[in-house]
Copies of this chain bind each other. A is one copy, B any other.
């Protein structure tokens, strides 16, 4: 037996008022005496009623759902600690506003554009969090055309006029390279993430720049799909060269690839950090669980997600466009980095 659906009408009847009055009370609008307001709330409590969000949405008031479409092959997502952590940060602020997250995995940006449009026009969401920006991202124009509130997680140079939340990847990469150079490394490699992603390009550029500035003797960069397998492959190929042509330090674009790299070094009989230094990115728990522990560029991903959500609410409530940097990842030295061995 289904619990009989209780509607605004019953509440109104029980409180002895019209449903309009109940609506006023529940939206904290003026025009009701304290006495009737109380009677209404009491009646609602007694009947266990709460306004139906679907009806509310249809009637044109606020929507309490925010969208998040993620575009990465499903199987890769599973391992990336980043997303779940990010999502949990988002959730932490949605919760306090009684909002929910509509999550969807998409295959490509075009599909995402269609989805966001459908969500918005169907009033399914009040706004959206956009992630994984690429150069000339079609979402920027689409979202502007729709006039839909969004927060873009990505560097302002990629997100156009959209309100953005971002980390300063360029500075972080530079710091990473400087640190390794300061330890004495002259031949440094970087195993990057997906080439199509805007922040990957920015990191790549920053790495090149830093390599030039510091006049490194060798600098290599490759891009991957973020998977452990790809990280292992890349590492293997970097480390097979004979010593003078081989990097003495490698920076990775996420944790998983760094862990994979660690394992490849071991498999090749190279000591970490003696023969090669390894530096991870993001810094999840994982970095503290390996032998040696992984030095990393640390990042409060959870806080990043929370900030994105907070900013989205700002946009929804009419705040003008803005750019919200979150703290730059900081270097956390652990056991996988040291001066190059002799």
The complex is assembled from copies of this chain, and their number is: 2
Contacts of A122 in B (CB 8 A): 50, 52-54
In the bound complex, residues from chain B placing their C-beta under 8 Å from that of A79 are 81, 84-85, 284-286
Knowing A285-B256, A289-B260, the reply to whether A88 touches B102 (Cβ < 8 A) is: no
* A94-147 contacts to B (CB < 8 Å): 94-95, 100-105, 118, 121-124, 145-147
Alpha-carbon separation in the docked complex, A77 to B58 (Å) = 34
Question: CB-CB contacts of A39-58 with B at 8 A, as 1s and 0s?
Answer: 00000000000101111011
Q: Which residue of the partner chain B has the closest CB to A258?
A: B289
| Residue pair B102, A100 in contact (C-beta under 8 Å) | yes
Q: Which of A30-76 contact B (CB under 8 A)?
A: 50, 52-55, 57-58, 65, 74-75
- Chain B residue numbers with a CB within 8 Å of A84 are 77-80, 83-84
Residues of B within 8 A of A77 (CB): 84-85, 88
Interface size class of A (residues with CB under 8 A): 35 or more
Q: Hey, which chain B residues are within 8 Å of A81, CB to CB?
A: 78-79, 81
Q: In this complex, what residue of B is CB-closest to A104?
A: B100
A15-23, A172-180, A207-215, A224-232 - interface stretch = A224-232
Q: Which residue of B lies closest to A117 (CB)?
A: B3
Complex Cα gap A118–B103 (Å): 19
Q: Which residues of B contact A286 (CB under 8 A)?
A: 79, 228, 256, 259, 286
A50 to B119, CA, bound (A): 11
A2 CB within 8 Å of chain B:
yes
Which residues from chain B contact A284 at a C-beta distance below 8 Å? 78-79
Are A266 and B291 in contact, with the CB atoms below 8 A? yes
B-side contacts of A228, CB under 8 Å: 285-286, 288-289
Nearest Cβ in chain B — how far from A312, in angstroms?
Answer: 16
Contacts of A285 in B (CB 8 A): 78-79, 227-229, 256
Q: Give the residues from 139 to 160 in chain A that come closer than 8 angstroms, CB to CB, to chain B.
A: 145-147
- A302 touches B (CB below 8 Å): yes
Task: Specify which chain B residues have a CB less than 8 angstroms from the CB of A263 in the assembled complex.
Answer: 289-291, 293
Is A89 at the interface (CB under 8 A from chain B)? yes
Contacting A145 at CB < 8 Å: which of B3, B92, B105, B266? B3
Q: Which of B2, B55, B80, B123 contacts A52 (CB 8 A)?
A: B123
Q: Which residues of B contact A260 (CB under 8 A)?
A: 289
Q: Is A1 an interface residue (CB 8 A)?
A: yes
CB neighbours (8 Å) of A123 from chain B are 52, 54
Q: How distant is the Cα of A101 from the Cα of B263 in the complex, in angstroms?
A: 36
Q: Which B residues are in CB contact (< 8 Å) with A326?
A: none
Q: Using A3-B121, A52-B122, A79-B85 as known contacts, list a sample of 14 further A-B pairs with CB atoms less than 8 Å apart, ordered by residue number in A.
A: A2-B147, A50-B122, A53-B124, A74-B89, A79-B81, A92-B105, A95-B104, A100-B102, A101-B102, A101-B103, A102-B102, A228-B288, A259-B289, A263-B289
Q: Which residues from chain A sit less than 8 Å from chain B, CB to CB?
A: 1-3, 5, 50, 52-55, 57-58, 65, 74-75, 77-81, 83-85, 87-89, 91-92, 94-95, 100-105, 118, 121-124, 145-147, 227-229, 232, 256, 259-260, 262-263, 266-267, 284-286, 288-291, 293, 301-302
